[in-house]
């Protein structure tokens, strides 16, 4: 399903700058499909004495967005080549998932993969995240099969590749 002209779920751009020189230090893009409920943190409601009493704002927890979903345009003051940015955007378009629960699982597994330092990893390393994933998804009692399923999804979308049974390699 394509997004209508006015999309209620926008893409986001984030920027930081050096205040003394007014130069952009970092500018990055987060596609809308990387937003899941667990990266949005509700703030305390405004006090009863406030003009908008009871209004609740939110914080976006950028550290919970997989690194793959934070596409740098300017990084440490250095502008990335246009082709590099466009290629990364095209790669993450493979990860569009409309179902919010499926999206949560996919990005949770992607985040786990990104925390493994080497390009090659195995199923045992992924199973090390089982307790963490069971806390995030308490209604799922089949965490290991779900890990394997999501690895297959990531394989089918070109994010990882199977090397041999139980062994994988990061592609992006």
Helix (H) / strand (E) element for 169: namely strand 167-170
Contact predicate 45/54, CB 8 Å: yes
State percent of the chain over pLDDT 90.
78
pLDDT confidence tier of residue 86, bands split at 50, 70 and 90: very high
- On the question of pLDDT at 116 being above 80, the answer is yes
pTM of the entire structure? Answer: 0.78
Domains present along the chain, CATH in parentheses: 1-96 (3.40.210.30), 97-172 (1.10.10.10)
Higher-confidence residue of 8 and 32: namely 32
- Give the C-alpha separation, 144 to 150, whole Å: 10
pLDDT score, position 9: 67
């Amino acid at each position: 399903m394509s997004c209508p002209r006015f999309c209620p779920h926008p893409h986001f751009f984030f920027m930081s700058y050096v205040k003394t020189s007014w130069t952009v230090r970092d500018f990055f893009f987060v596609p809308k499909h990387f937003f899941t409920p667990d990266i949005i943190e509700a703030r305390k409601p405004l006090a009863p004495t406030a003009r908008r009493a009871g209004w609740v704002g939110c914080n976006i927890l950028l550290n919970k967005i997989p690194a793959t979903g934070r596409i740098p345009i300017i990084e440490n003051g250095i502008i990335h080549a246009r082709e590099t940015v466009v290629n990364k955007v095209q790669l993450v378009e493979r990860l569009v998932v409309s179902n919010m629960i499926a999206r949560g699982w996919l990005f949770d597994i992607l985040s786990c993969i990104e925390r493994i330092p080497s390009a090659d990893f195995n199923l045992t390393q992924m199973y090390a995240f089982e307790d963490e994933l069971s806390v995030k998804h308490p209604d799922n009692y089949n965490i290991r099969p779900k890990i394997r399923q999501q690895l297959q999804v990531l394989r089918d979308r070109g994010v990882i590749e199977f090397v041999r049974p139980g062994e994988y390699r990061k592609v992006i």
